[in-house]
Amino acid sequence: MDTQRLILFIVFSFSLLLLWQAWQDYNGAKVGVAPAPRQGSTDAVPQPSQALGTAVSTLQPLATQAATLPKGQRIRVRTDVIDAELDTIGGDLRKVVLLRHGATEDRRKPMVLLADDPPHWYVAQSGLLGKGLPTHKEVFRADRSAYTLTPEAQTVDVRLTWEAPGGLRVDKVYTFRRGSYLIGLRYEIHNTGTAPLAADAYFQFLRDDTPPAGESSLMPTYTGPAVYTEADKFHKIPFSDIAKGKPSVKARDGWVAMLQHYFLAAYLPPAGPEREYYTRKLADHLYAVGVILPVGQIAPGATAVLNTGLYVGPQDQETLKTLAPGLDLAVDYGMLTIIAKPLFWLLKTLHGLFGNWGWAIIALTVLIKLVFYPLSAASYRSMAKMKAVAPRLQQIKERYGDDRQKLHQAMMELYKSERINPMGGCLPVLIQIPVFIALYWVLLYSVEMRHAPFALWIQDLTAPDPYYVLPVLMGLSMIVQTKLNPTPPDPIQAKVMMIMPIVFSVMFFFFPAGLVLYWLVNNLLSILQQWRINSLLGGETKGGTK
């Protein structure tokens, strides 16, 4: 039993260390590293492969001067959920402020997702590829400098226009919707010339590889591109892989996104003609990821229209499911997704009942405890019996001394006669480990719980307890559990078991408060269950039964 207890301690400690390691280097995230001065250019235009073959790209080698992003006239667009800024150079979406989400560093301020404030760049660009067509480097014009979604309107359109000297005209139209982070993006290409026009369109995100502001150095998460197609499914493309030269991907469906903690921006083109997803390193610490869509031949006097969706907002799982196949996979729970997704669904259901994520976590803990009650009851009964026979185990140890073979044989005979399972006490904790880790990922990646308050001083269940009250209470509960369990005969193991609450309390200082709340409530329920079983077995022993 002593050996099994030590193994359990090692397994559980290793699980916590895995979580700690995940904080440090999950998916290669880099935290707190100041970017070196960028050498290169931000105006590189993507070049489609010959398979798409309608474009004549103007891709230029990277320049030697420091990278710059030119700015033109700004056009501000405000809805009930976002405050956006477009730039007449390329018609780029240069800034997006999420009005209903607080900033990571100061929740009183709105979250800024897209921005072009050096040295950090995160913008949505698009352009056309073809002879005489405007890329994201050309200057568009707009009729107004500000657009606002009026109370009686459901949408607001922003039309940007570019005209060539020969009469070719391109309209780039953004459609912002009430209560939605999905922005419509439409190109209208008017071929007013006398010859057919071949065209492709590209849509890309330009971003530096620095994690977002306020990202904890103890809890880094993935920041970088992701691509989804029905054939290859969802996969992340770390910036380090792009620097090595990541090949493009061709498909007839899918989407491309730029992910960061709790939020994403994604181009969602409709399924249809074959498109090409690409990644590119533009300069030091600066990358582009996007998709090239074929427009095809445009006859003289004809107009071609190309639509795509641009989502810029939170990783709300229910919303993402409705926008595009596989988009909800951006909320990545890792290898324990099979456990984490049902946990999140149950948590969300309980939140609907209680209206508070903290009470939902408590209710979830109770439900999990009820589900595993028969197994844990058997385990605690085994541990209670172990405590009852502890004096006899000590006598056996004293009798056989250093004769390990006879000692082990005598202990096994005692366990058999008393119907004790030496491994029984390990099962409750072993069962909790995958649930514990899955709940960690749920708390870490579910934007629905971001900045969610519980009560009193706990105003964000996804952040550590600011006063360490919950970790200390959790440590005290572990001490009580240790007292209820049998004391290991070996003095060294006994000391290890006493040190465990202190070690785990310190480690839990840095864990999300919601996770500590779950473990604390679970410990309290376990204490009640163990105390009840100990009392019952004590009564049976006094009554002359085993």
Angle at 169 between CA 295 and CA 282, to 5 degrees: 60
What does the pLDDT read at residue 219? 58
The C-alpha atoms of residue 183 and residue 97 are separated, in whole angstroms, by 14
Above 60 in pLDDT, residue 347?
Answer: yes
Q: 85-131, pLDDT tens digit by residue?
A: 999 999 999 999 999 998 888 888 999 999 998 778 899 999 999 88
Q: Higher confidence at residue 252 or residue 41?
A: 252
Above 60 in pLDDT, residue 15?
Answer: no
pTM over 0.95, yes/no: no
Asked if residues 526 and 376 have their Cβ atoms less than 8 Å apart, the reply is yes
Q: Which of 99-113, 279-293, 310-324, 389-403 has the lowest mean pLDDT?
A: 389-403
The C-alpha atoms of residue 516 and residue 468 are separated, in whole angstroms, by 10
Q: Which residues of 327-338 are buried (b: 16+ CB within 10 A; e: fewer)?
A: bbbbbbbeebee
What does the pLDDT read at residue 403? 63
Taking residues 403-419, what's their average pLDDT? 68
What does the pLDDT read at residue 31? 33
| Count of positions (residues) in the chain | 546
Q: Which of 192-196, 352-356, 479-483, 511-515 has the lowest mean pLDDT?
A: 479-483
The C-alpha atoms of residue 258 and residue 290 are separated, in whole angstroms, by 9
Angle at 258 between CA 257 and CA 259, to 5 degrees: 110
Q: Report CA dihedral (464, 470, 474, 477) to the nearest 10 degrees.
A: 180
Taking residues 150-160, what's their average pLDDT? 95
Asked if residues 375 and 431 have their Cβ atoms less than 8 Å apart, the reply is yes
Asked if residues 291 and 275 have their Cβ atoms less than 8 Å apart, the reply is yes
Q: What is the CA radius of gyration of the chain?
A: 30
Above 80 in pLDDT, residue 451?
Answer: yes
Above 80 in pLDDT, residue 65?
Answer: no
Kind and range of the H or E run holding 177: strand 169-177
Above 60 in pLDDT, residue 511?
Answer: yes
Q: Which residues of 205-234 are buried (b: 16+ CB within 10 A; e: fewer)?
A: bbbbbbbbeebbeebbbbbbbbbbbeeeeb
Task: Count the Cβ atoms, other than its own, within 10 Å of residue 244.
Answer: 8
**How does DSSP assign 1-38, residue by residue?**
-HHHHHHHHHHHHHHHHHHHHHHHHGGG---SPPPPPP
Q: Which residues contact 63 (CB under 8 A, 6 or more apart)?
A: 40, 41
Q: Above pLDDT 90, what percent of the chain?
A: 36
Top-confidence range, 11-15, 167-171, 306-310: 306-310
In terms of DSSP bridges, do strands 74-78 and 146-148 run parallel, antiparallel, or are they unpaired? parallel
Q: Higher confidence at residue 1 or residue 480?
A: 480
383 pLDDT band, cuts 50/70/90, is low
Asked if residues 393 and 489 have their Cβ atoms less than 8 Å apart, the reply is yes
Asked if residues 311 and 181 have their Cβ atoms less than 8 Å apart, the reply is yes
Domains of the chain plus CATH, in order, are 71-211+221-332 (2.70.98.90), 340-378+426-542 (no CATH)
* Mean of the per-residue pLDDT values of the chain: 79
What does the pLDDT read at residue 546? 42
The C-alpha atoms of residue 263 and residue 313 are separated, in whole angstroms, by 6
Q: 180-230, pLDDT tens digit by residue?
A: 999 999 999 999 888 888 999 999 999 998 888 766 555 567 899 999 999
Asked if residues 301 and 312 have their Cβ atoms less than 8 Å apart, the reply is no
529 pLDDT band, cuts 50/70/90, is confident
Above 90 in pLDDT, residue 64?
Answer: no
Above 60 in pLDDT, residue 423?
Answer: no
Taking residues 454-483, what's their average pLDDT? 84
Q: Which residues contact 258 (CB under 8 A, 6 or more apart)?
A: 122, 205, 207, 224, 225, 226, 264, 265, 266, 289
